[in-house]
Structure 1
Amino acid sequence: MSKQTILCVDDERNVLLSIRTQLMRCFPEFMVEIAESAEEALEVVEDLISSGQELPLVIADQIMPNMRGDQFLIELHDRYPKILKVMLTGQASAEDVGNVVNRGNLYRFMSKPWNENDLQLTVSEALRSYKKDRTIEEQYLALEQAKLELEILNANLEKQVQERTQQLKLSEEHYRILSEISPVGIFRNDAKGNCTYANAKTLEITGLSIEENLGNGWGKNLHPDDRAWMYAAWTNFVEQSNLGHDVEYCFEHRYVNPDGSTKWGFVQAVPEYNANGEVVGFVGTISDISDRKKNEELLRLSEQKQRALIEALPDLVMRISRAGVYLDFYATSAFKVIGKTGDFIGTHINDSLPPDLAAKRLNAIQQALATEEIQIYEQEILVGGVLQIEECRVVACGDDEVLIVGRDISDRKFAEIALRESESHKAALIRALPDLIMRVHRNGTYLEFHSTDSFKVFGEAEDFVGTHLDKFFPLNLVEQRMKMINEALETGDIQIYEQEVLVAGKLQSEEVRIVPYTEDEVLLLVRDISDRKQSELALQSLLEGTASVTGKEFFPELVKHIAIALDVSHVFISKVSGENLETMTWYADDRIQPNITYAIAHTPCEIAFLNGIYNCSAGVRQVFPLDDDLVKMNVDNYLGTALQNSSGENIGLLYVLNHEPLNNPKRAELLLRIFGARASAELERMQVFEDLQILNTELEQRVQERTKELSKARNFLEAIIENLPLSLFVKNGKEEGFGEFLLWNNTCELMFGCSKEQALGKSVYDFFPKEQSDFFNEKDRLSFALGQIEDIPEEPIDSLTLGRRILHTIKVPIFDEHGNPDYLICISEDISDRKATELERDRLLQELSQLNKSLELRVEERTTALVKAQERIIAQEKLASLGTLTAGIAHELRNPLNFVTNYALGSIELSQELLEAIEPLRPSLDFDTSEMVETLIADLQENSTTIRAHSQRAENIIFNMMQHTRTDDTKAIPQPTQINDLLDQSLKLAYHSKKMLDNNFNIKILTDYAADLDLVDLVAGAMSRAFINLIDNAYDAMRHQRNLLSSSKHTEKYHPTLSLSTRSLGDRVEIRIRDNGCGIAPETQSKILDPFFTTKPPGEGTGLGLSLTYDIIVKQHNGTLTINSNASQFTEIIVTIPKRYN
């Protein structure tokens, strides 16, 4: 996001620069633009606004050419009224100021010359006011949006409740169908053990009618040999269960059919408990196992007939010695063994069996030989990667040998496991019995009658059997029930209707389901739905009474309807006010009472406020003796729930008081919770709007708080209609329409991103890729093929809304009465977060390990840095003492060096004069003499020139040494300097000096000078020497790099580049000088600031340049000098200098 901009307008540039400097220093988070006329300012404003920049403030002068300041500000206000405007001028009439105040909404007028603190305060307040105005606009729009969403949520609440009620009915219908198609017999006995109900499958197995099966008649057709012990076992089971003992009832027994044949049954039962843990009856299942018993009998006979053959040729026969050595080994082709049968003879048991199985077999051998009795045990062993369960029989054969017969019993064991799982599943279905079950004849006579203890009827169950419907019901209900019975028998369809019956003087609502049983009989399943009806009626009444009202009118309507719905004498809605509660409204004596304020301490409201809800069904005055109001109201019952805002904080209470206990506390508590949420939202909404009317100067903060509360209230309302945490869906198992969704709960909508309307009647192929859908479809068919519950620990899916998710899915196949696939019940749990947490934990452990390693490296680096810093401090101390020494040495050497320099120059001049003097005499001299004289004079001139050159170099060294000692000279007074100009001047001096030395070496120079730099306090001459030294070193490094690359034939690819840049860092200025030369080796970087240390060849450097530069920048100007370098790549010098010298 770009910075906001402040625009300053004045025709005097020095004034503009001064204002901009102060604003940039005081408000670094804002950009500052300037304009020298009103026309230019309007163009700047248009450019900023069109580019999306935000312009909160404009500061303008009054006296300007062409357009005056007041005209400009009025024009700006007409275009952009939200921009704040300040007039800063020394010449403005009262008329001009009044004009811009009235027509241009002037924020403030300031006079020149201005006070810096006043200007800073004015700009701060203006920016704050602008931000506040913008925030208020945003929050007001958000508040209006939240208000609209809240009204929509309130309007949809009733519709959602009705939809959930319909979904509950559909769910009950699905589970009723599952109960009706149960393939096992289901029966129920009362707490004394007498049979009170049996389904059709039970009667089919026992061969009894429903009348014969009731009471103790259920054992009438038991086989004579089984009757006595079955009755004894049942009596013992009933007695022990009533005593609280955990007793298992699970037996196989026989029945005698009317034709004299025998039928086998497998029966099991469990106690049924009420809410107090008392036995109220027993439920059980019975399965016809005659076919299995017949098969077992046939198998027994077959075994008798073929015993000799089986004993001669078992699955596996082994003869083994006492020591465990195989003497003979034979296995049939169907029996799987580890290895080949012929390989076992002569080997030990330990050579072929795992240690535990080998020890088990040796122990059985020793027991058989010691007791001469057959030893039988079972073992599990992996053969070819498949688990095989074997039964081993060990028989002594002589004194030191045994015969071991092995048999593969894997199929039998697996079948037993499957049977136990099936019986467990059947036992779960037993618990789904309704409140009241009746078997009724076509003529209206009760043939069987059973009700739970919680279901209220006109009398005892025995009073109904054998009587007609009209004995207990009024004529209209008898006619309705007879009509439904006839329709069920004629159509074969289930008939469902609701009725209202007076039981013990109280109206009871019932749901009646009539299921055809035989040609002339039906089963009636009746459920007491009074509580649900009352809740629906009360909820409907409350919704209708409060849906059309909001605000202060809402609470009186709510308490009146709650009082009527719950039949209570007092209803309160209170809000928190410090340590007290202040009533929003309260209802008593059939009317709304004046509001009151009362302390919350030592009252039942205190408990409800702390715990969220509190119910005192009786004696509330005795429980809270310090609450005088309870005595005055003469109430005995209290039920209250805390009102919470969207952030979960308690803001009030909704509670009822009554003289007598509530008729249905659970329903009352549910209604209080539902409308407590509505009251919480309404109370919070009222508080928001009341606060909006009170807000004035603190409007911004209050709007933010109320907006946040409204957002939380909306989230709280959304949480009311959240779905179950598990996805539950049912698929069609029939071949026609296989895999189509028949049931789809709300969590599925969130999980898979598909609504109920979109999912029902569709299959996975409509929502997932074909490859993934094929996988799901194959898994569904496998579930039906296995015929058992399938647990899929991890199953990846691609949700339309959540992306890739991992589910834990359980599938339960349901078959019809013919054993064909009917339904597939699927329950899925989203475990993606748990898996992600496991992966995140592994990742964090890995990161922790890496951080530990990184920490060790950082400690090592910090130690190295500290060592280098210590060395640098020592070097600086040496430099301090070296400076004094250098000054003395330089002073002592300068005088004799001047003599050497001057006499060398004189020798050169004298030798030239001598050469000119003897020139006329050369013809008179012989050749050798002339040649010798000329050579001597030439050598004298060359030696004198060499002496002079070296003396000049020595003089230059002494000059640098003297400069080194004078960098901390306190007499030099820093002056405000344009550092960009000084740096550019130093660059030109250094460049031209180097160009004179080597005109063939060209470099590219890049400059990036900040245009808005202030004047910097500098000793210009000293700082210029420092810049020249740094630029000279960069030039030499690039020339050295060129020479290195020329030897490797890469000269054409190398382009010497020198970059110089400046920028402002608050109260400091930063200068960067970067070259792409040879760089500095790491081992050299710690020494380059030492005096007399140089990396240049002998004769090319004194070693004092960087040391002198460091003293000028750091010591003299309190700056910093940092050197970043990478050998053979670059060197960058970073210099920072304070703008103001201290």
Structure 2
Amino acid sequence: MHVVMLGVPQAVTGEWERTLHEAGARHSVECQVQHARGLEELPESLPPGLLVLWDAGGPVQHTLTICQRLHSRRDPTRSQLVVLTERGPDELDALDQAGADECLTPPGGRWGARLIALERRLRALEPSALVAGGHRKRTEATLQALLELTLAEPGPDFFQVLVRQLAQALDVTCALVGELDGDSVRKLACFNLGDFCELPPYALAGTPCQVTVERALCHYPDGVAARFPEDTMLHEQGLRSYLGAALKDSSGNPIGVLAVLNDKPLAAHQLDYALINAFAVRAGFELERRHQRDEMERSRDQLQKTLDTVPEPLLVKDRGYRWVAMNSAFCRLMGRPIEELLGRTDRDFYTKAEADTFRRQDEQVFTTGQPHESEDGFTDISGQGRTLVTRKALFTGGGRSLLMVLCRDITERKRLEAQLRMADRMVSAGTLATGVAHEINNPLTFVSANLTYLEEQLTEMMVMPEALPELREVLSETREGVGRIRELVQDLKSFARADDERSGPVDVHRVVDSALRLMRSALRHRTQVVRAFGEVPPVRGNESRLGQVLINLLVNALQALPPRTPDDNRIQVSTWREGPHHVVLQVEDNGQGIPIEIQRRIFEPFFTTKPVGVGTGLGLSICNTIVQGMGGRIEVRSQPGQGTAFQLRLPVDGIPAPLRGKDAVLPL
């Protein structure tokens, strides 16, 4: 007989050991006594025999914990757990609940009788040939169940397969698995009387499942219904025995219960404990995985709802440029449901040129970590071209780098802006129409007169030699007039044409010359115009757009001049280079100036100080939009009564071009 004495004081161990040996000798029971000061000195699986636990007093919880752990590591059918204690009735009941078979007052007594009773129980459990064959079959069934559990794939029927295998391997009435839900257990699967059944949630208190959660392993070979009178399920189904194991997460916290119940006594062996523990570990892993999956789905749903609150299209890309998240606005922009977009890349939906452009931008942000903003075009699902302003920023978290892409569809705005620019051009063209007609009439008058004169001279049969110089002069004037008409028509066409989207190197001085020619008639009778040109390289932009801006500024400057003689009015157009990256184009007048309170609003759309029917308030707003679109900015400097200067700071184009410069007063 193996006897374990745990925590017994050294002063009494010698006398007790002698008493046990004498009692065993009288009844022909050989005793092997093992002394241990703590649980750590004992094996994880205790051998059959007598377990004696000494209660040193103090808080009862300490003794209860040790008793529970001893009970969980022993085979109750092959051992006897005796607690030597002097505690009162209530605490003795708690020790019984913790797994003690007996509670005795030290030093105890009748050890020989206990040894005989335990020896008789152990002999009764020794397998005969028939029992050995049954045990071998049960071992084979257990190993088969373990193998099937190992090979089982996670899925919706995982827990049903688990409880059926466990019930069949242990040949019990019922097997169930449930997860903890506060103070109750919610059934995941139940296999009862050879079939699956529904089991409503039930309270944990007063049930063997509560003990299982507390101890991690719990076994009641018989009489479990009488031990837990509040558990109605045990009584209703006539269940007598119980074996359960707690399901735990990766942190060791209980999250569920796996249990088998039988309508007959259940004498579990070490292999049975190993089986239910293995099933509990596997079930705990699967239950935790499902909890994590559910939490991820809740987090994903919450993230999706958050993204959908953003009104503008939003896209998230991973380091492989895959689309891993997006909002409903982006799905509407693409014209496809989210299921067709997740996991895809730009190359699945855009043209090669568009996808390559986006890929270069993404890589720049991933590499540098700096945000990027650009205006890009793409072809939508209907084949229509659209224009987006995209802002891209890097987000790093959880060991991953993600690219956040916020889009703004400005296709309609660009269309309206183009219409406004064209309307503004037409307004300016209407303003210039009278002057242009006058400018064309002048050369046409003398061209017509010269042609009439030439016709008269040529009708004569002979041309006198002295008339040849005059005829040559007439032809020269005619060519000059035709050239002036050609320049005026070309300037007007350049101003009014709609190829606004083309961008490239622009010669600022050529644009100024063209604008001054168009404004020649309007300016010559009101002011003197001074050109102060510095040596500047070409700028990056659009020639017709820049001409539109300059015409608007010249018209505004002309309207700001007071009614006085042309010699007293002055408009100066200047250019100079500012640093390596910018060219400044300035239009300055000595007119009435702009009040301080108005200067802050002059670039607002539809803001004007002109009478109704004279101005729309769009001129300077459109100018500001055009200049910003070319990567520049427009500034104003004005003093009431002293004049106004508008400065355009334009980016230098990367293509080198000859520098030109001159400084002169333009004769009008």
Compute the TM-score of the two structures, normalised by the length of structure 2: 0.28
Structure of larger gyration radius: 1
Compute the TM-score of the two structures, normalised by the length of structure 1: 0.17
